[in-house]
A and B are shown apart, each in its own frame.
Chain A
């Protein structure tokens, strides 16, 4: 395979483009997709670049088929990925459920838009719950929530590696704002930074070289007996718990006994971090926490961060999806009030966070 990126380059581009380049650099061989705003440019760029690097693409008839075709590609031993948004993400829950049950390492890039239903095409953080816990299972998934183009590039490479290593459906959760915003990013060949790309294996189909002595493999995701399901699922959960210890990521800064702990994920964390710095330099006693893996959620780390805080403010462009995860993590661990700055489908600015924070900080006095 020709080197996708010959030498590190600092480039100015949009988030969707970064996804296409990152997937190429991570060794993805196939993309299956379907048009839906705001992720179409991933396909537009992949289809332009794919032939140059001998990668494949198919625009299928809908998101269901795009997702299931991705599973098929992965099972046949090729790194495959899919991208979608909004109502497309809702449809993807079917193939994702199969990936969870059958431990198929497919990768998805999600560019959140306003919901529910068709709603807006621009932006939101309203697919947090869906991407982490959608489907009719226990959410055995790995979900990264990025906040910059560099992270999209870096975590895309991680996503493919961790998917094929731990064998759970893996997600890079972005949003329409990140998809369209323009900023500089360093594109690099993972090998040049000492990052080894994880190998693939085939679940289905064999090359002619493998015929001797190879067992035929039968896969199913149905179970006749509840106990069998229970045992299988508990094994998956044990594997997931093991993965969780190794992949969980977060960012935490500030005082260990803050008057206010600010919590946000994804692109909102940029505004919240800016607000944190502003408040800190204004002399307030504040701290900042950002989950980078939403699933597994950095429960222990948040418990430490919130252990001795007076109150929390959770900011998100959704109506409580991050807030629920925070409350769930801190249940029984804190009596501090947890307030939500909840703006479903709307952007959140540094100014707004500062305004809310100052109001809450005044309460503490």
Chain B
């Protein structure tokens, strides 16, 4: 990527207010804290994706921005105008946001064209606009059909066209692909990006699918337990995760114990350069991605400190990951490489650390994520950085490491 979306690419002049600014947003449902102080800025023309496990508050955030529910605390500003917070409570119909609902929520009693025209009934040129939008979403000949006659993918495109029609300041998409099957999802993902680009729309898309978040977002945020843990361009999220949760939720990560000093982490695999600032000193956990490890078959290989035994293999679309176990019981995931065909479970191998730069977390950082994991029913030891084990491994919920 040549441009840096962090500086606000797209149509917006540098001095223009952000399309959306959210500050200190909090929302509770009885004892459940759905949003716990969310901070967010979306620039004009930008597409921001929010990734998080279910129940992390993503949908609630969108509903509060749209005005469908009031916040307990915090403010929402759309195009520089305060719409929620102290002294402001603008109802949804006067916020100029578009929303694409998870179930599309098309009006079942209206034709496709009438659905798209719904929000612009006072526009004298609405028929031109509707035709233009139907063209944009490649449904120009479906205008007179009823929603229940359409496939899921077509319904979704109608929902997008309908939300775009009033030229909203920001368009909110709530898991737009979750009701579609896998093959359709990949195709529509590309279409959606084209459509939103062509419309010059500012968009926030929430999803629990990391592929979606990584491929669609100019920037992406990772949400957990009502907070945004990190927000940045996708490649930075992957290569420089801010917290252990982000490291393990986006892609597969081994968290390996190390002693850190002077920007170098000394792991059992060898030293790695640390790029996060401030760099921790002393004991810390270093993020080692599977592709950081190179498999060597000879147990007496150059960097071989340990002998590893293959215990599990996982096919992940374009590559194969192997889980290997050291003599002391530590397990890590690594990429199999070209010799994979010859390897069997139970074989002995050694690994070598490639020359990589990564991040390390001081021991205290794991606390929040450990509690989270307990809440999700995974073994609590998953990120227990303070135990005496040399490293702990947590495969990501979705099986594929990022690009």
Query: Does A pair with B?
Result: no
Which residues in B have some Cβ–Cβ distance to A below 8 Å? none
